[in-house]
Every structure is written in C-alpha cells, then in structure tokens.
Structure 1
C-alpha cells in the first residue's frame, strides 16, 4: 500500500485526484480530451465520481497511484502522472504521464516525473521505477532525460498501436540515484 501523495515542486502540486476535481475531470471527458487524464479514465461524465473514488482504492490496494498534476496557484489540472504495474516483491513499478496540449513544453511532465519517481523510491518503498517511451516520441524521450532517468536501451517492437509495432526506449531510476527525502528536488 502506498501512503497519500502530495508534492509541491516547480509551481506544481502533484496530488491524488480528489472529489473536488469532478468538474474539471468531467469537462475533459465531455470534450473528449483525455490528454490530462491517465489511461482508464472515466468513459462518460456519469462515471467521473466512481472513477475518482477508484483512484483512492487503487492506492490503498497497493496497485499503484493516479495523480493530478495541478498548477499550484490556480488549482487547474494540467496533466496526470501515475505508477502502475507494481511488483512489491521486486520493488518496481512503471511511471506514465500526460499533459494537456496547451500546457506542454513548460516542464510540467519532467518535473512531475522527477519528483514522483523520487517519491516512489524514498517514501513509496520502491527500488526501481521504469519509464518507457516510443522512439518516435522525441518529447517524451526528453522528459525522461530531463527528469533524471537513465536510458537503458531499446525494447524492439514492444508496443502495438493497433496497426503496427513500435520500438520503445526504456529508462529507469533506482534507489541509488536518489537520497532519502529527495522527492521535491
């Protein structure tokens, strides 16, 4: 089980989705713009409240965390980040993120990936956090590098988009890469 997550860094608040986020999440769903929401986001506006409750259950069950990336000043959700594919025995998980198209290029994804990775390796009890990105997704590759993840190699034909296979770069951050209490740097 993961403890509650609330990290402030670089003008962002990275925190659990909360009931008061229902209107913002519903607006994303209604506009069919899921770039700020994690995979598995609610399919309809009617499903938003149940989905928000499920994000807390996921954390409490130890299955991972789904976090909002919010502007610390306005509270506006600009993206999301999460840990999934948790293996408690191996002490590893995988990080994924998304940012609204109009808020990209401002360092939000790299800040969130850095601090959430460090939180997972210190307070979260993990030993290894992995990040994968398609080789063609240059922006995501840059995010991983800026966030301090080490590139380990290429997973050939490891992702399928429904039409063709894609090579994936694999990055990691491990406990020896961070100091205890290092989550907000």
Structure 2
C-alpha cells in the first residue's frame, strides 16, 4: 500500500560529498538501461531488463511514483562528476513504512556507493518524511546486498522462501530499522 499523499522531494540534495541522490533525468537512461541487462543485477533482481517501451516511460513512471506516494526513485550519482553510478528507491508499504531497494551499476561496484546511498536515504526517510520503519530485502546468496544492510544499521528480522519466476526456491533475508 502506498502513502496516501505525494512524496515531497528532498529540500536540498542528499549528499555526503562522495555521492549525491537526485531525481532521475533523461540523460541517466543510457546507464540505467545498460545496467538493467547486467548479468549480476539480473541474478538478484526480479525486474525485467529495460526495453524500448520501459525506457520511453521511465521518467514518467518515476514522477508518477512521487505524485501517488508509491515510490521515491532516485539516482545515485558521483558527487564530483554527476554521472549516475546506481539507483536507489523507497517503495512504500504503508504511510510510515517503506522498503529500500538499490542497485549499483557495474563500473561503480566496490566503491562503497550503496552503503552511502542507503545511509543518505535512511536519514531523509526518518528525518524529513517521518517514517517509522524501513525494510531491506536481499536474496540470501547476495552477500554484497546483505553487507550493505548490516553496514547501515539494519537488523535481520527474518526470512521467507518462495519460488522465483523459474520455479526455483529462493530465500529472501529481511532486515529492518526503526526510526527515532
């Protein structure tokens, strides 16, 4: 369930001097589309690779998420160059609870961009948006994503096993963090 109200964008850029979280732009679409075909990303994500139709509506879908209160989709950009290095989003489950999802593009992996982005998004979500609870879900085999959750102060609260699109059983580890 989404929020019942639009999500106000951050009043100021969310940055730690190394990365900045910002709204998605048309100039980001080449990098986002290319990353959506990355075998490592496809291994962990349920999303289909971005085709021409998804690319054509990407900006409008992101804007609609903000307007409807469904999701706050942001780009993780290098603070020095403003080039996109990944994506991060809040996906609302209730008025005061959201799931954080993130993906770092192949060239940006191994530089600590995901934990930086999650920390920035967490601060904004608890502070400006007043959320009470944030959740991160990761495939039990995705050690990098699990490390991000743990580095950012999320605690493991459970797991669930269900079939994936191919019918294989996959276990998802669930992490949560409560606001102040």
The residue aligned with 1:128 is 133
In 2 relative to 1, CA 58–122 (structure 1 residues): closer, same or farther, beyond 3 Å? same
Number of residue pairs the alignment of both structures matches: 170
- Are the counterparts in 2 of residues 151 and 169 from structure 1 also a CA contact under 8 Å? yes
| Correspondence for 2:16 among 9, 12, 19 | 9
Matched, 1:141 2:166: no
1:19-75 CA-to-partner distances (Å, cap 9, x unmatched) read: 34345445x27x83484xx97688334543421122112111101111101111112
TM superposition shift of 1:125? 2.8
Matched, 1:157 2:157: no
Secondary structure of 2:121's match? Answer: helix
Q: CA RMSD in A?
A: 2.6
Segment drifting more, 12-21 vs 61-70: 12-21
The residue aligned with 1:80 is 87
Higher relative contact order (CA 8 A, sep 6+): 2
Matched, 1:54 2:61: yes
| Correspondence for 1:67 among 65, 74, 96 | 74
Cα distance in 1, alignment partners of residues 46 and 65 from structure 2: 13
In 2 relative to 1, CA 10–85 (structure 1 residues): closer, same or farther, beyond 3 Å? same
| Correspondence for 1:112 among 109, 117, 126 | 117
| Correspondence for 1:100 among 86, 102, 105 | 105
Cα distance in 1, alignment partners of residues 48 and 59 from structure 2: 9
- Are the counterparts in 2 of residues 150 and 173 from structure 1 also a CA contact under 8 Å? yes
